[in-house]
Structure 1
Amino acid sequence: MSLVVYLAACVFGLTSVLLLRRPRTALRNPLTLSTCAAVALGALVFVCAAPASLATVNELTGVPNFGAPLTYGMLSAYSCAVLVLLINWRGGPRERVRRMVLRSIAAYGLLVAAIVVLFTLADADTERLTDLDTYYAATPFMREMILLYLLGHSAAMLAMCVVCLKWGREVRGLLRTGLRLILLGALLDVLGFQLTKYTAVVARWTGHDLDFLSTTVAPPMASLAALLCSAGFVLPRLLPPVLAHWRGLGDYRRLEPLWSLVRSVSTAPEPPTAWWQLPQARLQWREVSIHDGLLTLAPYFDHRVRERVRDSALRAGRSPHQARLAAEAAMLTDAARRAAAREEPPGTTGTYRLHATEVSGPGGLVELAQALNRPPAQAAAPDGTAPSSLSGPLAEPEEPHVA
């Protein structure tokens, strides 16, 4: 059973690390801080509840069953952290949020103190690592301690269910999906963990033996509930940036034809190539470098090439936007050829803004890069030669062939 419990602790711990990936920012955000606190305490609960951990704690302290109040205290602290998280997540006037947080901390602080006092007064000299709840279900003071920690945890989980149900009708998107996962995890905790614990304890009170519910059924149900709750906490917070970085990686790759065309004339600093550099940062560096290269090539733009290719594309049935992209791609390719050959700028230069420079974000550059891979129908350049279809790095001018 320790393996299952430790696995749940690892899931909670990994969730906490992902949420706290930027410690300085997280510590200034009450919502992120309370989320990390709740998830970290959940991990500690599972670590403390593992039979191997209980045995180690009991041995180190020399007190039989000392791990019980430690685990129950951690579980109560986790329940409090869940309530604080819900309060911060829900938001509202700052004073009201602060007042509710302080009340929750005070209530569960008293609960933890009561658990410690009851354990101190109880007679629990026989060490029980897996069935303490049922073994001491009828023992004075231990009985009250067990019932008290279960009631405290039930209150927090039921409050979570109510908030998730109410709030889930008011929100949409990933937040609603996250709330549904948290609700499912909370319900599984209530029905799969707490109800089985209550049933096994009450069965002991009435002289029956249903200990397997507490020792066999409850732990895996709690672990599965923890997995669902952690997924619900993480999904609305981490999935949007993950998707943004994924899209950034796709745009970074789609810009390769354009970057290959202008990289030799770009004077921007060389972008970082460290393996840990996030796709969004790489994309921003590539955008800056490409824009710098476009500025360098601007004097070499030949508008006769652009107009001829545009007219040809329109006659071929392309939309005005597609024709403009094809024309700009041909003009840019011709400018790159002139720059590589160190030719004089054409006499048709003038003020012209590429579509890629008129729109924000990488979308315009991506469209231009993809247009470079779709050469238009052959249109004669002003000097009677076909416009170059360069799409790779700038090539050196060829030596003239001597017969």
Structure 2
Amino acid sequence: MSLVVYMAAFLFALAALLLRRPRTTPPTPLTVPTRVAVFLGALCFFCSAPATLAEVNDVTGIPNVGAPLTYSVISAYSCSLIILLIHWRGGPDAQIRRMVGMAAAVYGTLIVAIIVLFSLADAETERLSDLDTYYANTPYMREMIILYLMGHLASTIVLSAVCLKWARDEVTGLLRVGLWLILVGLLLDVLGFELTKVTAVVARWFGYNLDVLSTSVAPPAASFGALICSSGFVLPRLASATAAERQSLSNYRALQPLWFAVKSVATAPKAEPTWWHLWWQLPSSRLYRLEANIRDALLQLTAHFNYRVGETTYAAAVERGESEETARTVSEEAMIIDGIRRASGVGDGPADPPDKFRITIDLVDLASAVNRAGETSPEQVRTQ
């Protein structure tokens, strides 16, 4: 049983790592809530594994202390899903803060109550897999078990109602797919975890033994349902992140001709990272490094520029009827391409660099212009 639960925890932790925000991407209101929810999901499974419970009990010297720890994490996970849903829905900042504060206050109180009830209970016999049913009739333990089950059920009902409304009326595309995955996961959670746990506990109240529902049915159902539910939260964000990384990879490839043109003629080009430094990096990280190297190389080439080339190109563009923005772009392209040519030894005339130079042109557009100008052939670039 511990192996299955640890595998679920590992998959959650892996999802949290995959959701890390590239350093070039600005944070969004969903960044922190998404990662916190996925991390707490992983922590739920890790804490609930019998091997973890036994270790926690041994280390603390308190029998069954792993139970309130696990129930508290489950309650925190339920709260995090509601908070994530609040951020996902959006709205005025004041309203979001108020709703998040209410959810945190309710589940914070629930966690405190779980801890207090456990401290008042008499639970000296260690139970690693059937604690809910074994202590179903024990004062304070009984209330603690009911409390965490009701808290988890409440979050499930709220999530189900809101997700069902959105999935039917308000969203489309991957967000809608994500909502239906959440609903499927919640259904598995209600039927496979909540219903079986409650049934087994209530059976104990009336003198029956249905512990198998709690010990053998509920854990795998909860694992499977939580994985599906969390995938619904992750899918829209992961899809958008994948699209962004795909665009970064496209830009990275588009900038290769420009880097090839400037790296050999710059006065002090930065050393390129070796393949074993790059294979594990996301395309956005590679793009960030490449853009920085290109900009450094272009600034080093300023001494080879001739500002008159830019002025002449700008005047010609304006005369053709181009807008001022387009004229500035083509003039900057012309000056940079002329500077690269002169630095490589194939350009004519002396350099006359501008007093001040700032790169304003989009590097992908510049790479395309350099490529059209034929600056990427090895014979031209490598001639010193």
- Quick check: 1:41–1:78 contact (8 Å CA) kept in 2? yes
10-19 vs 258-267, greater mean Cα deviation: 258-267
Counterpart of 1:12 in structure 2 is 12
Q: Structure 2-normalised TM-score?
A: 0.71
- Quick check: 1:268–1:289 contact (8 Å CA) kept in 2? no
Distance in structure 2 (CA, Å) of the matches to 1:85 and 1:339: 54
- Quick check: 1:178–1:233 contact (8 Å CA) kept in 2? yes
| Per-residue CA distance 1:81-107 (angstroms, 9 max, x = gap) | 222222232222333222222222222
Counterpart of 1:81 in structure 2 is 80
- Quick check: 1:244–1:280 contact (8 Å CA) kept in 2? no
Distance in structure 2 (CA, Å) of the matches to 1:389 and 1:110: 67
Q: Cα 1:279–1:166, aligned 2, differ >3 Å: closer, same or farther?
A: farther
TM superposition outliers: structure 1 runs of 4+ over 6 Å = 22-26, 289-293, 295-300, 338-341
| Per-residue CA distance 1:271-296 (angstroms, 9 max, x = gap) | 75362562322453577589899x96
Correspondence 1:189 to 2:196: no
Q: Cα 1:237–1:390, aligned 2, differ >3 Å: closer, same or farther?
A: closer
Q: Aligned runs of 1:74-223 on 2, under 5 Å?
A: 74-168=73-167, 169-223=169-223
- Quick check: 1:38–1:81 contact (8 Å CA) kept in 2? yes
Identity score, percent? 52
Matched letter for residue 16 of structure 1:
A
RMSD (Å), alpha carbons: 4.3
- Quick check: 1:48–1:71 contact (8 Å CA) kept in 2? yes
Distance in structure 2 (CA, Å) of the matches to 1:389 and 1:30: 44
Report how far residue 21 of structure 1 moved: 4.7
Q: Cα 1:297–1:174, aligned 2, differ >3 Å: closer, same or farther?
A: farther
Larger radius of gyration: 1
Distance in structure 2 (CA, Å) of the matches to 1:132 and 1:93: 44
Match of 2:378 among 362, 367, 392: 392
| Per-residue CA distance 1:302-357 (angstroms, 9 max, x = gap) | xxxxxxxxxxxxxxxxxxxxxxxxxxxxxx9xx96x99674747xxxxxxxxxxxx
- Quick check: 1:15–1:230 contact (8 Å CA) kept in 2? no
Q: Aligned runs of 1:26-37 on 2, under 5 Å?
A: 31-37=30-36
Q: Structure 1-normalised TM-score?
A: 0.68
- Note the residue ranges of structure 1 that are not aligned, 5 or more in a row: 301-331, 346-357, 373-387, 398-403
| Per-residue CA distance 1:152-195 (angstroms, 9 max, x = gap) | 00111221122222233423344333333333322222222222
Distance in structure 1 (CA, Å) of the matches to 2:59 and 2:376: 73
Q: Cα 1:80–1:249, aligned 2, differ >3 Å: closer, same or farther?
A: closer
- Note the residue ranges of structure 2 that are not aligned, 5 or more in a row: 310-336, 350-359
Counterpart of 1:284 in structure 2 is 291
Correspondence 1:57 to 2:56: yes
Report how far residue 246 of structure 1 moved: 3.0
Distance in structure 1 (CA, Å) of the matches to 2:23 and 2:369: 37
Distance in structure 2 (CA, Å) of the matches to 1:29 and 1:396: 44
Q: Aligned runs of 1:227-238 on 2, under 5 Å?
A: 227-238=227-238
Distance in structure 1 (CA, Å) of the matches to 2:156 and 2:264: 61
Q: Cα 1:4–1:247, aligned 2, differ >3 Å: closer, same or farther?
A: same
Q: Cα 1:285–1:141, aligned 2, differ >3 Å: closer, same or farther?
A: closer
Secondary structure at the residue paired with 1:362?
A: helix
Matched residue pairs, number?
341
